Amino acid sequence: MTDDLPNPALLPAGLADLLPPEAEREAALVEAMMAVFAGHGYERVKPPLLEFEDSLLAGSGAAVAEQTFRLMDPVSQRMMGLRADTTPQVARIAATRLGAQARPLRLCYAGQALRVRGSQLAPARQVPQVGVELIGGAAPAADAEVAIVAVEALAALGVTAVSLDVTLPTMVPALIEAAATPDAPRARLARALDRKDSAAVSALVRELGGVLGVLPGLMAAAGPADGALAALDAADLPEGARAIAQNAAAVLVAIRARAPALRVTLDPVEFRGFRYHTGVAFTLYGPGMSGELARGGRYVSQNDEPATGMTLYPDAVVRAAPAGVAKPRLFVPLGADGAAHRAQGFATVAALSAADTPARLRCTHELKDGQAVPILVKD
């Protein structure tokens, strides 16, 4: 009968246990990032894991509605949702509990988010998040600040040589609207841009004409920020699109003023994954193959307040950060006291019975005559 029982270690798809020492390392990295945020004046908030659906999915929360787990509250008989992203909750706190505080409001957070589905590249459904939100500041300097604070948080962990990818998710919609593009070719053009199919984009532009003629050149300009900005400046953009380009240039000037050595790229026609962003959007990539470490950008918070933020992903940051030095474990025999050695940085592991040994408790040192003696590992 027992063979038919499910394995108690089996977890749902996309969920996993984080074991020693990885769990402790991730927690330490999170707190180190939060310390950097605090140093820039960002104050910590802690929203609940779930809340009523109508507030959780308001404003920017609507963008993650399909990824939100829902359940019925047995007390109020109202639907609740488990957060799929922390930003909408911070926006709610800013608009309600902190609505009377002076703007701009700088808030930061650390916690877990749960999503209905993972992706092929990121199958995890429980996602740790650490981030900053700057609410009530509309200046390009605000967008630059959240990007730079995220870069500094990564640098504090030893993650350097990062790349900041800037996109303009409102540029393509602005050009399509200015061209009054019909629905059918609009969908085909969006699909071609999404796939980076330059041949298809060029064919559609020739068919549709008008202001959309700038798209092939803007696609080709994606890359280092200076070249992309030059292409935007030279393009014959309608008024709305020109304002988007000018704002992007101002944000990049502000970023360079604070981090002149930061590698910055710009893709003027990228719009994937940024459904609620209303201005520049950011993605931070780590060195080598470490991948996407953070994402954020400009959006409209509750009460129509201008806002901008960055969310970092600790599970990805752990992979990019240099391996830390594990705290040495000191075996403390029965009846001995390791308090003085804890103050010296040891993790003291006290024996509870005669059967406990340094090897059994995975210790690196043993307390002998009041001294921490390294345990020699035999080959």
State whether 23 and 78 are in the same domain.
yes
State whether 140 and 177 are in the same domain.
no
State whether 82 and 121 are in the same domain.
yes
**Domain range spanning residue 306?**
17-158+276-323
Quote the pLDDT of residue 352: 96
Distance of CA 154 to the CA centre of its chain: 12
11 within domain boundaries: no
Q: Name the pLDDT band for 274 (thresholds 50, 70, 90).
A: low
Predicted confidence (pLDDT) per residue in 229-269, tens digit: 999 999 999 999 999 999 999 999 999 999 999 999 999 99
Give 373's contacts (C-beta < 8 A, 6+ positions apart). Answer: 365, 366, 367
Does the pLDDT value for residue 326 go beyond 90? Answer: no
Number of separate domains in the chain: 3
State whether 147 and 280 are in the same domain.
yes
State whether 150 and 282 are in the same domain.
yes
One-letter amino acid of 318: V
Does the pLDDT value for residue 377 go beyond 80? Answer: no
State whether 360 and 248 are in the same domain.
no
State whether 282 and 180 are in the same domain.
no
The model's pTM is 0.92
Domain boundary among 206, 240, 272: 272
State whether 95 and 108 are in the same domain.
yes
356 within domain boundaries: yes
d(CA 339, CA 115): 43
Quote the pLDDT of residue 186: 85
Task: Let me know: does 238 contact 211? Beta carbons within 8 Å.
Answer: yes
State whether 137 and 264 are in the same domain.
no
d(CA 201, CA 186): 11
205 within domain boundaries: yes
379 within domain boundaries: no
State whether 84 and 231 are in the same domain.
no
Quote the pLDDT of residue 366: 97
Distances (CA, A) of 242 to 81, 219, 257: 39, 16, 23
State whether 52 and 74 are in the same domain.
yes
Predicted confidence (pLDDT) per residue in 125-167, tens digit: 999 999 999 999 999 999 999 999 999 999 999 999 999 999 9
Does the pLDDT value for residue 1 go beyond 60? Answer: no
State whether 147 and 291 are in the same domain.
yes
Predicted confidence (pLDDT) per residue in 277-319, tens digit: 899 999 999 988 778 999 999 999 999 999 999 999 999 999 9
